[in-house]
């Protein structure tokens, strides 16, 4: 009898604990974005749509389906009962999930068991993604083992395309999970927002902007590149030890002289370099609909003259994301004003309707400096290292980057916007371990710009 009473007490404690979890803590637990139960209750989950309403993620027969498969997998993400959520499925989980189900575990359980289609429905998430532009970006990047890119409307910050290669098919996530996580190419990694790379010579846009803004150089300043520049025990050289001779600032920029930009960085100085980096948002958290990795900057007190010289052309310990470089291109295109990037245009069917309004983050440079930079970037494509990005009838502004790294061949970069006179599209692309940015990344950007500009006229 004593043993029986003990069991009754234990069961009562267990029942009270279960009641506390289900009734008191239940709504909070249900709202957690990593709660896999949301993915299991696919019947009431809202859809994720492209900008034209094309379904990117929908629930059919109690199953989450991704009609575009790997094309938009990194941005849309996945919702799995076993592995949780990622991408927009994770970031907007509370919006997508049917609210009555999230608040009432008993209703949730009934729908799970019955598969009833009468469950309350979550809101739809309408993105800014333009599928033809997305296809063009993925097609260009897909020719290489590892690459990433971001396409923005510099006037608003709307993300027209966002891609990372290799990708994966979220429809086959559960069956292929072991293979995906074991793959050394990291297909689950979104390189566009989480990949950190040395920016190489694309960062000369920032160096030139800061130098012009501070008045340490002008467009008429001249520089002489004899093939090398020694600071202490370190000698700066150009790729393939090229020699660009004597050039004005635009010429040094168009021919991408590391020797010249190392000297410009030294003129800027450590203090002003870090002040300018803060204005550009470097190292700060990015407000975006998806998580974005923070840029990595060296510690100020560890920056020697030789390191500062390397920072001038995007090397040393500086690491940035493709999203950051797309925003830098968009800032120059937008007359020195940095737009806030966004991937979700509006929510449809939620209790709290949301329609994204274009915002700005910062104005790191003046309109005059931005327009001077625009002319310099046009020269890169017209007669410099970025001629592979030329488009018939369109003035393209761009900057190549060939970023050395300790793990193999250089990363190829290209950032651009067009048309230069009234920019409607800004792009950043990085291709890992292939070589020159002008050879590999610039042609990809050219095709993306061609499609995006045609779409923007519609």
Contact between residue 145 and residue 431 where contact means Cβ atoms under 8 Å apart: no
Q: In what order do the strands lie in the sheet with 48-49?
A: 63-65, 55-60, 48-49, 124-127, 344-348, 354-355
- HSE, CB side, 13 Å, CA atoms: give it for residue 67: 13
Closest CA to 333 of 222, 259, 416: 416
Closest CA to 80 of 5, 9, 171, 17: 171
For residue 332, the Cα-to-chain-centroid distance in whole angstroms is: 18
Q: Which residues contact residue 413 at a Cβ distance below 8 angstroms, ignoring those fewer than 6 apart?
A: 197, 199, 200, 201, 202, 325, 400, 401, 402, 403, 428, 429, 430, 437, 441
For 287-316, letters b (16+ CB in 10 Å) and e give ebbbebbbbebbeeeebeebbbbbbbbbbb
Q: Give me the catalytic one of 201, 256, 306, 350.
A: 201
CA distances from 331 to 57, 215, 399, 455 (A): 32, 20, 14, 21
Closest CA to 325 of 226, 172, 445: 445
Beta strands in 170-271 (DSSP E): 222-225, 229-231, 234-236, 245-248
* CA–CA gap between residue 400 and residue 416 (Å, rounded): 9
Q: Which residues contact residue 414 at a Cβ distance below 8 angstroms, ignoring those fewer than 6 apart?
A: 202, 386, 389, 398, 399, 400, 401, 427, 428, 429, 437, 438, 441, 442, 444, 445
H or E element at residue 124: strand 124-127
Closest CA to 31 of 123, 89, 79, 103: 103
Name the DSSP letter for residue 70: G
Active site residue 201: yes
**Residues designated as active site:** 201
């Amino acid at each position: 009898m004593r043993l029986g009473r003990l069991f009754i007490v234990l069961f009562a404690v267990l029942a009270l604990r279960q009641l506390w979890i289900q009734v008191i803590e239940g709504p909070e637990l249900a709202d957690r974005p990593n709660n896999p139960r949301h993915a299991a209750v696919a019947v009431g989950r809202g859809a994720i749509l492209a900008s034209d309403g094309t379904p990117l993620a929908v629930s059919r027969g109690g199953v989450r389906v991704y009609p575009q498969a790997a094309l938009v997998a990194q941005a849309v993400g996945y919702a799995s009962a076993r592995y949780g959520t990622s991408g927009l499925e994770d970031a907007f989980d509370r919006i997508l999930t049917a609210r009555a189900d999230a608040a009432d575990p008993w209703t949730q359980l009934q729908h799970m068991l019955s598969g009833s289609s009468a469950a309350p429905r979550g809101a739809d998430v309408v993105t800014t993604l333009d599928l033809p532009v997305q296809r063009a970006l993925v097609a260009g990047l897909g020719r290489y083992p590892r690459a990433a890119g971001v396409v923005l409307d510099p006037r608003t910050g709307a993300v027209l395309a966002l891609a990372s290669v290799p990708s994966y098919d979220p429809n086959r996530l559960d069956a292929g999970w072991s293979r995906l996580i074991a793959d050394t190419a990291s297909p689950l990694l979104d390189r566009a927002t989480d990949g950190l790379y040395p920016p190489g010579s694309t960062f000369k846009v920032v160096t030139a902007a800061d130098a012009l803004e501070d008045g340490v150089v002008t467009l008429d300043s001249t520089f002489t590149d004899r093939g090398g520049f020694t600071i202490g025990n370190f000698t700066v050289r150009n790729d393939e030890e090229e020699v660009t001779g004597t050039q004005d600032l635009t010429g040094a920029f168009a021919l991408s002289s590391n020797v010249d930009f190392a000297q410009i960085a030294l003129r800027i100085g450590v203090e002003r370099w870090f002040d300018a980096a803060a204005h550009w948002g470097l190292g700060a958290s990015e407000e975006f609909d998806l998580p974005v990795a923070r840029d990595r900057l060296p510690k100020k007190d560890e920056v020697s003259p030789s390191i500062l010289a390397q920072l001038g052309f995007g090397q040393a310990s500086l690491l940035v994301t493709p999203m950051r470089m797309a925003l830098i291109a968009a800032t120059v295109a937008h007359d020195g004003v940095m737009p806030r990037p966004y991937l979700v245009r509006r929510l449809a069917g939620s209790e709290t309707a949301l329609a994204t309004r274009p915002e700005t983050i910062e104005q790191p440079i003046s309109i005059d400096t931005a327009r001077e930079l625009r002319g310099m970037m046009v020269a890169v494509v017209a007669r410099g290292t970025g001629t592979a990005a030329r488009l018939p009838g369109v003035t393209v502004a761009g900057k190549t980057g060939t970023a050395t790294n300790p793990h193999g061949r250089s990363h190829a970069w290209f950032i651009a916007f067009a048309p230069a006179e009234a920019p409607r599209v800004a792009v950043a692309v990085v291709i890992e371990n292939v070589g020159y940015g002008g050879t590999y990344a610039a042609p990809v950007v050219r095709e993306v710009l061609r499609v995006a500009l045609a779409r923007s006229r519609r």
